[in-house]
Amino acid sequence: MTATPRRARVERVTKETHISVELDLDGTGRYEVATGIGFLDHMLEQLSRHSLIDLVCRAKGDLHIDFHHTTEDTGIAIGEAVSKALGDRRGIRRYGAAVIPMDETCSRVALDVSNRPYLIWKVRFERPKLGEMDTELFKEWFQAFAQAAGITLHIENLYGENSHHIVESCFKGLARALREAVELDQRALAAVPSTKGTLTGTLKS
C-alpha cells in the first residue's frame, strides 16, 4: 500500500450513457458491476477479481438502440479511473504480461502503462454474437480502455474455438498483466519508471 491511496472516482454523462466508476488499485478484487449487459458485467467482474482492483461500475445507456455506446463508454470511464488513480505513475512496475489458458483457448496480453495509448488486437471470432452482444464490440471496449488509461496494450488470441473462452481469456489476461504493471516496485518507490523522469504527456520514455 502507498501512503496516498490509489483510488479514483469518475462519472461520465452523455446523451447516450450515464456511467459512474469507483476503483482502488490496491484492493482485493471486490466488485459491484451493473451495466445492463449481462456478458459485459461478467467480463468486468473477471477484470476486477483477477487484477485485485476493487471496482464499482454502474451504467445506464441507450440499450434500446444497441450495446455499442454502453460498452465503449464503460471502457472509457474505467480507463479514466485507472489513469486518475495512478497519478504521476511513480513507483509502479509499469510493464505487465500474461498468458492465459482457458480450456481449448490460449491468449497472450502484454502492456505498458506508458501514457502512450495504443491497441494491437489480434483476435478473431467465428461467431458474430455472444448471446445478444456483438463480438466486434469487445475490440471497442479494449480500445476505449487503452486510450483512456494511457496504456499500450497488445492482445493476441493464440488459438481457440469457443468465443466465450476467447473473450474471457483476453479480459483475464488484461487483469493479470495490469495487476503486475500497476504493482508498486519496492526497489523504486520514489521513481517514475522512465529515463525522462515523467510519464505525463510524454511521447517517448
One DSSP character per residue, the chain reads --SS--EEEEEEE-SSEEEEEEEETTS-S-EEEE-S-HHHHHHHHHHHHHHT-EEEEEEEE-TTT-SHHHHHHHHHHHHHHHHHHHTT-TTB--EEEEEEEETTEEEEEEEE-SS--EEEEE---SSSEETTEETTHHHHHHHHHHHHHT-EEEEEEEE-S-HHHHHHHHHHHHHHHHHHHHSB-TT-TT--SSTTS--SS-S--
Q: Does residue 205 fall inside a structural domain?
A: no
Write down the pTM of the prediction.
Answer: 0.92
Q: Does residue 98 fall inside a structural domain?
A: yes
Q: Does residue 26 fall inside a structural domain?
A: yes
- pLDDT classification of 190: cutoffs 50, 70, 90: low
CATH number at residue 39: 3.30.230.40
Q: Does residue 154 fall inside a structural domain?
A: yes
Share of the chain above pLDDT 90, in %: 84
How far are the Cα atoms of 23, 54, 89, 136 from residue 115, in angstroms, in the given order?
A: 19, 22, 9, 25
- pLDDT classification of 15: cutoffs 50, 70, 90: very high
User: Which has the minimum average pLDDT: 56-60, 129-133, 146-150, 189-193?
Assistant: 189-193
Range of the domain at 76: 7-182
State pLDDT tens for residues 22-35: 999 999 999 999 99
| Domains in the chain, number | 1
Q: Does residue 190 fall inside a structural domain?
A: no
Q: Does residue 194 fall inside a structural domain?
A: no
Average model confidence (pLDDT) across the chain: 92
User: Which has the minimum average pLDDT: 44-58, 75-89, 120-134, 178-192?
Assistant: 178-192
Q: Round to whole Å and give the CA distance between 6 and 205.
A: 23
Q: Does residue 196 fall inside a structural domain?
A: no
Q: Does residue 193 fall inside a structural domain?
A: no
Predicted pLDDT at 154: 98
Predicted pLDDT at 125: 95
